[in-house]
Amino acid sequence: MPRALLVIDVQNEYFPGGGLPLWEPEEVESRILAAIGNARAKGDKIILVRHLSRDGSGLFAEGSHGASIRPGILAVSNAAPIVAKHFADAFQDTDLSGHLAGIDELLVCGMMTQNCVVFTALSRLSDPLRVRVVSDLCTAPSEIVHRIALGALGSKLPLMSSTEI
């Protein structure tokens, strides 16, 4: 069953010094880096997602330091495709579906468990795929928000650990 690991919004804005620092972003990033290596070793496709502001200013403004994907993620992803999005759902008004041709299973991880991860994983455009969220490869503004979002999400679709990749 061909799989893809979708890495959502691991961007500078979510780290210390950025405009929206999250809970334990460095630890999550470290686990994502390892997961990308494991996924590649198994032949999985890697797809990166990058959020950009719709009006081109403020947080996630194109060309800003905050909107940049973290250098380590870019380095280990070996020129993986990067999908630019303007909405929480990485499928909405993007070319993500085209990058998933031939993929049966989508593993979702990344930043803002309660927002971009949830909306992408539950997107109607993901219906043809077996979608699972890698719970320890996600984070939110706080631990409690992260855990509440995973609890709700787990009632709708399977969650998994990065040790299963």
What domain count does the chain have?
1
Domain span at residue 126 reads 3-164
Q: Is the dihedral of CA 9, 117, 100, 37 positive or negative?
A: positive
| Residues 6+ away with beta carbon under 8 Å from 62 | 52, 53, 56
The β-bridge relationship of strands 3-8 and 105-111 is: parallel
CATH number for 60:
3.40.50.850
pLDDT tens-place values along the chain, 165 residues long = 799 999 999 999 999 999 999 999 999 999 999 999 999 999 999 999 999 999 878 899 999 999 999 999 999 998 899 999 999 999 999 999 999 999 999 999 999 999 999 999 999 999 999 999 999 999 999 999 999 999 999 999 999 999 999
